[in-house]
Copies of this chain bind each other. A is one copy, B any other.
Amino acid sequence: MESATHWILTLVCPDRPGIVHAISGAIVDAGGNITESQQYSSDDTGTFFMRLQVESATGRAAFETAVASIAERYGMTWQLDVVGRPLRTLVLASTTAHALNDLLFRQRAGQLPIEVPLVLANHPDLEGLAAFSGVPFEWHPVTGPDEKAAFERRVLEAVEEHGIELVVLARYMQILSPGLCAALEGRAINIHHSFLPGFKGANPYKQAHARGVKLIGATAHFVTTDLDEGPIIEQNVERVDHNQSPEELRAIGQDIESRTLTRAVGWFAEHRVLLDGARTVIFR
């Protein structure tokens, strides 16, 4: 007898009555049992969002057939995946290690369902860190427009080559071109070192110090052409004090950045992040 598989099913469609009954019927038909379910109806966009975990001994094909007929009727965008399958993830990095270290450490510890076939950097500094985790590392200088264009072509090539499902900017200190942003829409996550929308742009810890804020933070968001304006996935803050220098704020901030980015990546890898216009729905 075939043993049961744990599936994740996510679906998005225009909101109307009967969706839950229809989809749960399809799951019953496919011999499945719903073990987790979350839903949300957006008043802003009139959209219905759902994430299900289903235990089922049925194979993928039968499951897909059952869902597809309902999906058609309700105009659903949907995705079916196996719980725990590691998401193929490309990491872009520069010189600071904390965000990359946290991602790779948790991946190795079995806490983050991703696999990283490549780290692409514009500096050589983090090669040892990648090597320690057994992750291929490649770097190219990005000092002028030609090198930048070449680097971005290499990103797209690597996405193709490795079947990349998510691109993570782990403190990659370059602004992506509008073309690359568009090509990676909805599958590239950046960590911004401030509590957005406060302190956009460069040097947020210096700005935070100058303004004398009492909490500093970090924001993980989708990459869009509007710099620092992409849909927010996760944010965290920590309390700070008048006697902390911009450098100390930076050190505290790096912890928040790592934690926030890793959490956002984990949620994305578990299909817990869905887009509702300029906002995200997070099914935790």
Residue positions of A touching B, CB distance < 8 A: 16-18, 20-21, 24-25, 27-28, 32-41, 43, 97-98, 101, 105, 109, 111, 128, 132, 195-199, 210-215, 217, 231-237, 241-243, 245, 251, 255, 259, 276, 278-282
Task: Give the contacting residue for A32; candidates B17, B40, B213; CB below 8 A.
Answer: B17
Task: Give the contacting residue for A43; candidates B109, B195, B245; CB below 8 A.
Answer: B245
With known contacts A197-B198, A198-B197, A214-B234, A21–B32 Cβ distance under 8 A: no
Docked pose: A15 CA to B276 CA in angstroms: 32
Task: Give the contacting residue for A27; candidates B21, B28, B211, B231; CB below 8 A.
Answer: B21
Docked pose: A185 CA to B128 CA in angstroms: 38
Give chain B residues whose Cβ lies under 8 Å from the Cβ of A241.
Answer: 282
Task: Give the contacting residue for A111; candidates B24, B41, B196, B251; CB below 8 A.
Answer: B251
Are A212 and B242 neighbours in the complex by a CB distance under 8 Å? Answer: no
With known contacts A20-B34, A28-B17, A212–B245 Cβ distance under 8 A: no
Docked pose: A95 CA to B234 CA in angstroms: 31
- A284 to B, closest residue via Cβ: B241
With known contacts A211-B197, A232-B211, A242–B20 Cβ distance under 8 A: no
Are A279 and B212 neighbours in the complex by a CB distance under 8 Å? Answer: yes
Docked pose: A251 CA to B32 CA in angstroms: 29
Are A278 and B212 neighbours in the complex by a CB distance under 8 Å? Answer: yes
Docked pose: A280 CA to B217 CA in angstroms: 19
Docked pose: A259 CA to B236 CA in angstroms: 15
Docked pose: A144 CA to B97 CA in angstroms: 41
State the Cβ distance, A211 to closest chain B Cβ, in Å.
Answer: 6
State the Cβ distance, A171 to closest chain B Cβ, in Å.
Answer: 13
Give chain B residues whose Cβ lies under 8 Å from the Cβ of A105.
Answer: 97-98, 101, 105
Docked pose: A27 CA to B198 CA in angstroms: 43
State the Cβ distance, A251 to closest chain B Cβ, in Å.
Answer: 5
With known contacts A21-B21, A242-B40, A196–B198 Cβ distance under 8 A: yes
Are B20 and A276 neighbours in the complex by a CB distance under 8 Å? Answer: no
